[in-house]
Every structure is written in structure tokens, then in C-alpha cells.
Amino acid sequence: MLRKARIDDVKTIHRLINLSSSRGEMLPRALMDIYNSLRDFFVYYDEKKDNIIGICAMNIIWENLAEIRSLYVDENHRGKGVGRELVEACISEAITLGLFKVFTLTYKKEFFLKLNFKETDKNSLPEKIWSDCFRCSKYPDYCDETAMIMEL
């Protein structure tokens, strides 16, 4: 079941992000950052097992730009459409808010290509660089994520 994240999901979201980070799939995030951005998150909840099996966030960067971030799907549920549903929910929310340019920085280029994202130069996203990237330990010389964009 896909739904918006709730306050009691924060510690699970944090754990999943940092688990994924330890595998080199995404950058880590602080617990306080998850609390501050909770409204950005969707979760995919497995009612039978009573646990979250996927997460994704849509973050507003600027008046015309949104970011899909923190996408994670439990390994046992990958390839079943969970990630696609999470990203599509974020895109739908962006459209509802009047944001028609959505990007991601990812290590999963092939996944986003299947969703009609196109590779772009990171320098085409100056709002992202100034809002987040300059605080990252990998910026500017060691960033190994692929920038991808979709114009709706």
C-alpha cells in the first residue's frame, strides 16, 4: 500500500536510508533531516508483514524544479514495480504543486531511464548545487551520481 509518510515512520525511513547508504546506493541523511522533510516522503507499506518496504521523497528545490530523492526498495521487493509506484507518486505530487521539471541524482541510471528521465549535466541544476550539493563531502570533485531530468 502506497501512502504519505507519518511521524512514526521517521526512524524506519532513517534506518533504510542509512542502510542503503552503507551499500553505496545513496548518501546518508541525519535523523533531524528526516523529521524536517517528512512531508516530502511517500512510503510503500506491506500490510501483511506490517513493515515499510520502500521509500521515496519529492523535494521542492525552486519555483520550477523538484527533486526525486531517497528512493529505496527492500531487496526482496525490487523488480516488482514498487520503486516505479513511489517515483510516480512523487511526480504526481510535483504536478499537483505546479512543478513541471523533476530531476534526480542517482546511482541507478537504468531505472530512471525506464521512467523517461534523461541524463543531464549537473551544472544545469544550479539551484540544487547551491541548496544541497555544496554541503556534501563529495562536492565538487568526487560526485559520482548521475544527474537525470524529466520535463513534464
Answer whether residue 133 shows pLDDT above 70. Answer: no
Burial profile 91-109: b = 16 or more Cβ within 10 angstroms, e = fewer: bebbeeeebeebbbbbebe
Instruction: For 2-151, give the CATH class.
Output: alpha beta
Where is 12: in which H helix or E strand?
A: helix 10-22
Amino acid letter, 39: R
Average pLDDT, the chain: 90
Which of 28-42, 50-64, 115-129, 133-147 shows the lowest mean pLDDT across its residues?
133-147
What would the pLDDT profile of 26-61 be if each residue is shown by its tens digit?
A: 888 999 999 999 999 999 999 999 999 999 999 999
